[in-house]
């Protein structure tokens, strides 16, 4: 995939008690929930809210997910989830994420997800040109 980095989309979240575990830190899988909140927010910002994707009949299921954990998050803290398009291939798109604790902007986690576009019948499909355009210029 050629590099075509978009700009960062920011979402602020507050850690819910439900997201913590008995180690008194946020459970590791929850960072992927936050990355998804960031992706959905980015897609909404570039004009592709969920309703529009449903109308056009395509979907972008996750084919790879990765996280590197740097420091824990704790209950009631505020975190910043930054998301951008890392690269776009013919049929797939890669988002990357950085998650920080606020207000000090301490880096807690970096990660990425890769998604393969599928059409209405669930088959892999090329990314439409207009979608590629908005994601590239995001």
CB neighbour list of residue 128: distance below 8 Å, 6 or more residues apart: 58
Entry field: residues in the chain: 138
Question: Judged by CB under 8 A, which of 50, 91, 102, 130 binds a second copy?
Answer: 50
Helix (H), strand (E) at residue 66: strand 62-69
The answer to whether residue 89 forms part of the interface with a second copy (CB under 8 A) is no
Cβ closest to a second copy, residue 77 vs residue 136: 77
84 closest CA partner among 65, 68, 98, 66: 98
DSSP letter at 126?
P
Phi-psi group of 70: left, alpha or beta (phi > 0 → left; psi -120 to 50 → alpha; rest → beta): alpha
| Closest among 46, 54, 56, 62 to 9, alpha carbons compared | 46
Binding a second copy (rule: CB under 8 A), the pick from 4, 46, 67, 82 is 67
Q: Does 62 bind a second copy (CB under 8 A)?
A: yes
Give whichever of 16 and 90 is closer to a second copy, judged by the CB atom: 16
* Piece in contact with a second copy (CB under 8 A), picked from 46-54, 79-87, 88-96, 130-138: 46-54
C-beta of 82 vs 136, nearer to a second copy: 82
CB-nearer residue toward a second copy: 66 or 90:
66
Q: How far is the CB of 49 from a second copy (least distance, A)?
A: 7
List the one residue from 23, 105, 123, 129 that touches a second copy (CB under 8 A).
23
Question: Does 33 engage in binding with a second copy (CB under 8 A)?
Answer: yes
> Quick one: which of 12, 30, 39, 7 has its CA closest to 100?
12
The least CB distance from residue 15 to a second copy, in Å, is 9
Backbone angles phi, psi at 105, to 5 degrees: 55, 45
């Amino acid at each position: 995939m050629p590099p075509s980095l978009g700009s960062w989309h920011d979402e602020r979240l507050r850690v819910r008690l439900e997201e913590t575990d008995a180690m008194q830190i946020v459970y590791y899988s929850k960072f992927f929930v936050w990355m998804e909140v960031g992706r959905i927010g980015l897609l909404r910002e570039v004009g592709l809210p969920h309703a529009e994707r449903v109308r056009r009949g395509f979907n972008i299921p996750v084919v790879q997910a990765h996280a590197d954990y740097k420091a824990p998050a704790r209950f009631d803290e505020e975190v910043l989830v930054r998301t951008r398009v890392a690269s776009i291939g013919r049929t797939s798109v890669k988002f990357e994420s950085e998650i920080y604790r606020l207000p000090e902007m301490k880096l807690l986690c970096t990660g990425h997800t890769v998604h393969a576009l599928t059409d209405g019948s669930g088959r892999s499909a090329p990314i439409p040109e207009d979608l590629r355009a908005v994601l590239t210029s995001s």
